[in-house]
């Protein structure tokens, strides 16, 4: 055993229980990775490889298990004790301490573990699912920010309703918590039933926030909630598949924001991001496909390519198969893989199989970096009354791949 690994050289041949007591100092953890203390409160961030900073564990996304968490803390210093799942027990202990027991009945990888302990106040509400279950909703924040969480709560309820209506996806626990932390380093994180956000993505008021701030909060609240199915219930086999959850969930939050606001304006905004920033990434020294073949550190691959180009690849499925066909593919994807850690190939197969079609060279989008250039020419023969559209495609060389790239399937809309 050392600070980074625990090796059991002769494990029992039969299934066994391993008890492990670890002593860590989160108050001295300045990396903000794993469990750390900030502003007097304890908070966690475990994606992608933070759980190994808390205890010895096979910290991979394909290792999925059920978590039961008991938190004990000083009641005066840490009156709020939160983790994943449902709160099944709580009470007072000697010496001014108290405890809370959380049980998450759904298997999840360790990167979705979360723990929060500190002084917070909560805005509370309820949401009734399409099957009639009442879900308690709480948004926790520092007391001085308590008046700035109503828009986030409204956005959460709209997200839950939209996901039911658009994709038939219902929330699966009794409780959904959001914590707004001033010093959270990841922007927002979709931990099962305990989303943790940087405060700027939760808090707003008419006196200090713009329309853009309101829309951004609505979109990010939706994004993290939508991960409950596309990322949590069905997760990634390995981190090479990161776009499986992120590209798909970005597409879902784009569609949600388009529904809640102006669809043309939202589409223009998303295209501007891809053209101004992702195209530059694809043309630079760090160009990589949405499913990279290798990496030195996975934290470096939370990129515009994986997220935003990944979302455009998902949108092409939607364009090729239509809204109904895409929904059929999503339904089959969840039917086949609920509770599993899977790959982009599994998503591709679900889309093909559900629609009984072949998508040909579409998989190349996952393997090839670079922005394709299309050259389009047209000709109209008045005598024959025929219109000819000719397209050629070029994909530039990128540092990650020297060999010549193959043409990729691109849907093209034509109007005459």
Other C-beta atoms lying within 10 Å of the C-beta of residue 6: 12
DSSP character string of 216-273:
HHHHHHHHHHHTTTBTTTBEESSGGGHHHHHHHHHHHHHHHHHHHS-HHHHHHHHHHH
Instruction: Give dist(CA 39, CA 266) in Å, integer.
Output: 36
255 is catalytic: no
**What's the alpha-carbon Rg for the chain, to the nearest Å?**
23
**Contact at 8 Å (CB) between 216 and 282?**
no
Instruction: Give dist(CA 68, CA 103) in Å, integer.
Output: 5
Other C-beta atoms lying within 10 Å of the C-beta of residue 372: 16
Write out the E strands in 64-114: 65-74, 80-83, 86-92, 97-108
Active-site position among 218, 224, 255, 352:
224
Instruction: For residue 122, give the 3-state DSSP assignment.
Output: strand
Other C-beta atoms lying within 10 Å of the C-beta of residue 360: 11
**Contact at 8 Å (CB) between 63 and 110?**
yes
Burial of 349 (0-12, 13-18, 19+ CB in 10 A): middle
Catalytic residue list: 224
């Amino acid at each position: 055993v050392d600070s980074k690994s625990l090796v059991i050289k002769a494990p029992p041949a039969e299934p066994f229980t391993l008890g492990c007591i670890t002593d860590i100092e989160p108050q001295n953890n300045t990396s903000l990775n794993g469990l750390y203390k900030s502003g007097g409160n304890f908070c966690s961030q475990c994606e992608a490889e933070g759980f190994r900073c808390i205890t010895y564990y096979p910290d991979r996304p394909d290792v999925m298990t059920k978590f039961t968490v008991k938190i004990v803390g000083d009641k005066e210093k840490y009156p709020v004790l939160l983790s994943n799942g449902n709160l099944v027990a709580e009470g007072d202990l000697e010496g001014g301490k108290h405890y809370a027991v959380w049980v998450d009945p759904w298997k999840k990888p360790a990167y979705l573990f979360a723990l929060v302990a500190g002084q917070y106040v909560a805005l509370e509400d309820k949401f009734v699912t399409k099957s009639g279950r009442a879900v308690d909703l709480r948004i926790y924040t520092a007391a001085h920010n308590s008046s700035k969480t109503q828009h986030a709560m409204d956005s959460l309820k709209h997200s839950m309703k939209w996901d039911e209506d658009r994709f038939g996806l219902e929330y699966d626990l009794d409780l959904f918590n959001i914590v707004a932390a001033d010093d959270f380093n990841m922007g927002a994180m979709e931990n099962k039933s305990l989303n943790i956000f940087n405060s700027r993505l939760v808090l707003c008021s008419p006196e200090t926030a713009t329309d853009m701030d309101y829309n951004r909060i609505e979109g990010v609240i939706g994004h993290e909630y939508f991960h409950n199915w596309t990322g949590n219930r069905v997760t990634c086999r390995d981190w090479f598949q990161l776009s499986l959850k992120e590209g798909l969930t970005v597409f879902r939050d784009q569609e949600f924001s388009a529904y809640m606001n102006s669809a043309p304006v939202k589409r223009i905004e998303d295209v501007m991001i891809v053209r101004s920033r992702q195209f530059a990434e694809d043309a630079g020294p760090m160009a990589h496909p949405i499913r990279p073949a290798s990496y030195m550190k996975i934290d470096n691959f939370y990129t515009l390519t994986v997220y935003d180009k990944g979302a455009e690849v998902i949108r092409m499925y939607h364009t090729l198969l239509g809204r109904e066909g895409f929904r059929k593919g999503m339904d089959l994807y969840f039917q086949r893989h609920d509770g599993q850690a899977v790959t982009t190939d599994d998503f591709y197969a679900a889309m093909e199989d559900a629609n009984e079609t072949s998508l040909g060279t579409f998989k190349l989008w996952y393997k090839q970096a670079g922005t394709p250039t299309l050259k389009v020419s047209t000709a109209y023969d008045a005598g024959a009354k025929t219109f000819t559209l000719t397209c050629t495609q070029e994909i530039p060389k990128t540092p990650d791949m020297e060999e010549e790239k193959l043409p990729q399937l691109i849907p093209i809309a034509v109007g005459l």
